[in-house]
Amino acid sequence: MMRRSVPTVVVEQRTIPREGLVALLHDTSYRVVASVATISEVNETCLPAGRPALVIFGASNGVAALKDAIQLIGTEMRDSKIVVVADWRNPVEVQDILNVGADGIILNVNSREVLLRALDLAFLEQKFVVVGDLVEKTSEYSEEQKIAPSPGHNHNTNGNGSTNGGMHHPLSEREHQILCYVARGYSNKMIARACSIAEATVKVHLKGILRKVEAHNRTQAAMKALETGLLNLRDYN
């Protein structure tokens, strides 16, 4: 199976935190193509056209500057997913950042494993908030937005690619591959091209996937698979 990577831009004013994020992403599917202090330094030629990309923002520049940068990304790099990594504890600021266009916010995360699993969620259609080792119960987020992966979560699967995480039917290798592309934000046409199959075949597989994972739509299916460990996007560079 062909492994694909996600072009990733790290934007953080402080050198040490920026280099730390780059180091954490080393040897993962999140391939850092630019590491800069401000978004204005990004050369768009480093981002492959037609490929979902990821932009990770640190929060050292302040909330106002961060909002402006996120809005700029939304205008000039519309296919990109945006995640903010910070240590804020103010829910109003968090909600403000989500409202201006961030796909997710990762707060107070000290584990590389949790960080990587949280980044996987950026390619789902629903916004999310991950809070390190403790989930802050605030009225600012819906329960669907609060996702706190456990550092000790078990990703082990059996020979058929299934887990004991609540999935009643194992996915075939092709279904697992297609579900991974769904979680990455690929359209049916993009999945068909990546898998060298017809778009109609992709739709048939998606119906089977929804039935097996007991989901109502593609986003819910990908979310369930990520949360239970059935799907690990870093296996598909």
Q: Tell me how far apart the alpha carbons of residues 113 and 34 are, in angstroms, rounded to a whole number.
A: 22
According to the model, what pLDDT value does residue 26 have? Answer: 93
CATH for 198: 1.10.10.10
- 92 and 206 inside one domain: no
- 116 and 14 inside one domain: yes
The count of structural domains within the chain is 2
According to the model, what pLDDT value does residue 80 have? Answer: 85
User: Interior CA angle at 89 toward 84 and 94, to 5°?
Assistant: 45
Domain membership of residue 197 (yes or no) is yes
According to the model, what pLDDT value does residue 47 have? Answer: 66
- For the chain, 237 residues long, the average pLDDT of each consecutive 10-residue run is 72 93 93 90 68 85 85 77 80 78 85 85 80 42 38 36 49 88 82 90 91 85 77 60
Contact 131, 101 (CB under 8 A): no
Domain membership of residue 153 (yes or no) is no
Domain with 88 in it: 6-131
Tell me the three state secondary structure of residue 11.
strand
**Chain Cα centroid distance, residue 190:** 18
According to the model, what pLDDT value does residue 98 have? Answer: 85
Contacts of 142 (CB under 8 A, 6+ apart): none
- 124 and 177 inside one domain: no
Return the structure tokens found at 194: 């990546």
CATH for 26: 3.40.50.2300
Contact 71, 80 (CB under 8 A): no
Task: Fill in the DSSP letter of residue 169.
Answer: S
According to the model, what pLDDT value does residue 50 have? Answer: 57
- 214 and 121 inside one domain: no
- 109 and 200 inside one domain: no
Domain membership of residue 139 (yes or no) is no
- 19 and 111 inside one domain: yes
> Which of 77, 107, 131 is at the close of a domain?
131
According to the model, what pLDDT value does residue 156 have? Answer: 38
pTM of the model: 0.60
- 119 and 198 inside one domain: no
Phi-psi region of 27 (alpha: psi -120 to 50; beta: other; left: phi over 0): left
According to the model, what pLDDT value does residue 234 have? Answer: 60
- 94 and 188 inside one domain: no
- 118 and 182 inside one domain: no
According to the model, what pLDDT value does residue 91 have? Answer: 60
Between the CA atoms of 83, 84, 86 and 92, what dihedral angle is there, to the nearest 10 degrees?
-120
Contacts of 60 (CB under 8 A, 6+ apart): 12, 13, 14, 17
> Which of 97, 116, 131 is at the close of a domain?
131
> Which of 131, 159, 187 is at the close of a domain?
131
Domain membership of residue 124 (yes or no) is yes
State the alpha helices, DSSP H only, in the chain: 15-25, 63-76, 91-99, 112-120, 173-183, 188-195, 199-213, 218-228
- 126 and 179 inside one domain: no
Tell me the three state secondary structure of residue 37.
coil
Gyration radius (Cα) of the chain, Å: 17
**HSE-up of residue 222 (Cα within 13 Å, Cβ side):** 23
Domain membership of residue 141 (yes or no) is no
- 25 and 102 inside one domain: yes
